[in-house]
Structure 1
Amino acid sequence: MVSHESALRGIRFARCRYAALPWRPLSAREVRDVMARARASERSVDLDELARHGFCPGNEDTRRVHLLASSSASRRRSENVSIHTMGVSPRGATLLEAAPGIFSVSVELAFIQCCATLSFPKALALGYELCGTFSMCEHISDGRPDEDRADSSGYLETESATTVAALARVAERLPRTRGVKLARSVIAHLLDGARSPMEAIVAGMFHMPISRGGLGIGEMQLNRRIDFNRLASNASGMPYTICDAFIPSARVDLEYNGGYHAETVSRIHDENRNRGLNALGITVIALNHDTLRDVEALEAVGSTIFHRAKMRYRDRSREGAARRVRLLNGMREAFGLKPC
């Protein structure tokens, strides 16, 4: 039974390969049976097979895998295996069958376990990844960014692995699991549906409370569909559009424009979309790679949103700016981008 960071590696590997997570969830009876029979020792583990499924590095010199055992009696220490224990039938600890004889903790439990070793910004980035329609590739998601990517090429589009509601349910059922305190604080402010790392950064910076380093815009909907009326359809030539980050109270749509938006087809689509939204009284604010490296620019956009919502943006303190820099840099690092 694979767990912790190794389970996350396998989840990313499967999502990138299949554009979804095809693993079969086990029934409660199957979970009890597997956990009762599981053994965790180097002799009983085929590291080559685990590497083929993405659970550990393929290089024999760097292989290390985290495994789950039902009791300390079934643990066997070894150089390449880190062993963790959990009861035979813990409430809420779902297992997934990744391949014959290979099982992984659920996405939700893996998230909680990983939170035990992550900072808040990196846990937030991971939450957006698992609840979003993108998956990071392991070569830039180890916390060792090697270059600055305007649009991170180290992710692929895929179905979401879980939802915020599912994360919350499992965190509630496992109150004593290491990492659950941080996981709960992240889940409380997480949104479903981010389509890329940069959209996740937009959501993190604008949606998080001021006390956590965000700009405190609580009312935000990612990838919200806006149906056009006749006037908006005539102006845009489109029946509807999908807003990256829609703030209903301010009637503002935040759009992240990556490098491909400079291409002719994308630029024409953006112009048509903007005309349709403007016809509905919705203002489009475009963000680019440079904006998401500049805290002052993000604060200026936040101030505009608060003004349109007839609210006052209050936090301009030096301490607040430092919190925003930490949140922004932490999320950027988690996605393999250089700090601002």
Structure 2
Amino acid sequence: MCDLAGELTFAEQLTLIEELTGSWSLPERNVAEEDDDGLDFIGKASGYYDCEPATSLEEIRKYHSDSKWVAGRVAARQAISVATGSSRSPMEAIMYCMFALPHSLGGFNCGPLKPNYKIVLTGKASMLSGLPYVIADAYLPRFKAIIEYNGSYHDESTIRRRDEARALGLMSMNVDVYRLNDLQLKDAAALESVARTLYRRKQIQFSPRARAYASKCPELLRELRQAVGLGN
């Protein structure tokens, strides 16, 4: 990571950290030219493989701290300090970055963000949902809210009913659930609207004072999408 940082943009550094610490990996070739329909990444939004994490965010931070003279160490410092890690898809990685990063970097400053967070349900919530616990894509403890990426398969009736029951159980514990889809992950204004709702429901003012935030936010989203091969 540090060795490459000097050659990468900030968004590319972030998504590389997410890829190394997450359970997904981008193919090295053009997915559009891939003929093997049996490969995991076929049909997925950004063409990724499911895989085991190559490392952890803690290990990356330790390496960065211990490697005083590695080329790219300074260039990697900011991305390593703000990364969340442990995403399960490129779309989750984008979601994590947009909501966790501070306003000064173009994010919504909703952190801290806890990825793949286990919430044990109360008796009532378990009865409503039919589940003993849930694993949230991302939990925002400051807002007592969950944000989740829902791919197209969530539109299937059985999965949609499961999601609704799950959300009902969480809401009985006063945990808000926000589901984001592919269209929203293309639109900085749509994502910001969700962030503003989070702030408003907790009676916190959403007022980015960072210089050039209005341009940094859509630019961050655009660069994150390009970094994982999603384009504009």
TM-score, normalised via structure 2 length: 0.90
Describe the shift of the 1:318–1:212 C-alpha distance in structure 2 as closer, same or farther (beyond 3 A).
Answer: closer
CA contact (8 A) 1:151 1:198 kept: no
Runs of 4+ more than 6 Å apart:
none
The alpha carbon displacement at 1:140 in A equals 4.6
- CA deviation after TM superposition for structure 1 residue 216, in Å: 1.1
Equivalent of 1:328 in 213, 216, 221? 221
Q: Which residue number in structure 1 is paired with residue 36 of structure 2?
A: none
Match of 1:238 among 105, 116, 131: 131
Structure 1 counterpart of 2:148, which letter? E
**Contact 1:150 1:258 (C-alpha < 8 Å) held by counterparts:** no
Aligned twin of 2:93 = 200
Are 2:154 and 1:264 aligned? no
1:93 match: none
Give matches, 1:187-336, under 5 Å. 187-315=80-208, 319-336=212-229
Matched residues, number: 222
Instruction: Report 1 or 2 for greater relative contact order, CA contacts < 8 Å, sequence distance ≥ 6.
Output: 2
Q: 1:120 deviation in Å?
A: 0.2
* Separation in 2, partners of 1:181, 1:213: 21
User: Structure 2: which amino acid aligns with 1:281?
Assistant: N
How far apart are 1:277 and its partner, in Å?
0.6
What letter is aligned with 2:29? H
Alpha-carbon separation, structure 2, partners of 1:206 and 1:271: 23
Instruction: Say which one has the larger Rg.
Output: 1
Structure 1 distance, partners of 2:159, 2:206, is 33
User: Could you tell me how far apart the structure 2 residues matched to 1:120 and 1:161 are?
Assistant: 20
Match of 2:16 among 104, 109, 126: 126
- Structure 1 distance, partners of 2:134, 2:30, is 32
For structure 1, the residue ranges without an aligned partner over 5 or more in a row are 1-110, 142-148
Cα offset for 1:176? 2.4
Aligned 8 A contact 1:236 1:275 in 2: yes
Query: How far apart, in 1, do the equivalents of 2:49 and 2:148 lie?
Result: 19
Mapping of residues 1-340 of structure 1, within 5 Å: 111-140=1-30, 151-315=44-208, 319-339=212-232
| CA distance in structure 2 between the aligned counterparts of 1:219 and 1:296, rounded to whole angstroms | 21
Shift of 1:265: 2.4
Identity within the alignment, % = 35
Point out the more displaced range, 158-167 or 304-313.
304-313
Question: Can you list the C-alpha shifts for 1:118-144, whole angstroms capped at 9, x where unaligned?
Answer: 000111011111111111111259xxx
Measured after TM superposition, the shift of residue 231 of structure 1 is: 0.2
- Tell me the SS of whatever aligns to 2:82: coil
Q: State whether residues 198 and 256 of structure 1, in contact with CA within 8 Å, keep that contact through their aligned partners in structure 2.
A: yes
Q: Match for residue 47 of structure 1? A: none
Task: Give the whole-Å Cα distance in 2 for the aligned partners of 1:208 and 1:175.
Answer: 26
After TM superposition, give the deviation of residue 279 of structure 1 in Å.
1.1
Q: 1:293 to 1:153 in 2, by over 3 A?
A: closer
- Cα offset, 1:332, TM superposition: 0.4
Read off the aligned partner of 1:331 and give its amino acid letter: L
What does the per-residue CA deviation read over 1:13-48, in whole Å, with 9 as the maximum and x for residues that have no partner? xxxxxxxxxxxxxxxxxxxxxxxxxxxxxxxxxxxx
Distance 2:184 2:112 in 1: 21
1:203 CA drift (Å): 0.4
Q: Is the 8 A contact 2:64 2:73 kept in 1?
A: yes
| Structure 2 unaligned regions, length at least 5 | 32-41
Shift of 1:153: 4.9
Shift of 1:280: 0.8
1:205-259 Cα distance to aligned partner (Å, 9 max, x none):
0101111111111221111011111100111111111111111121111111111
How far off is 1:317 after superposition?
Answer: 7.7
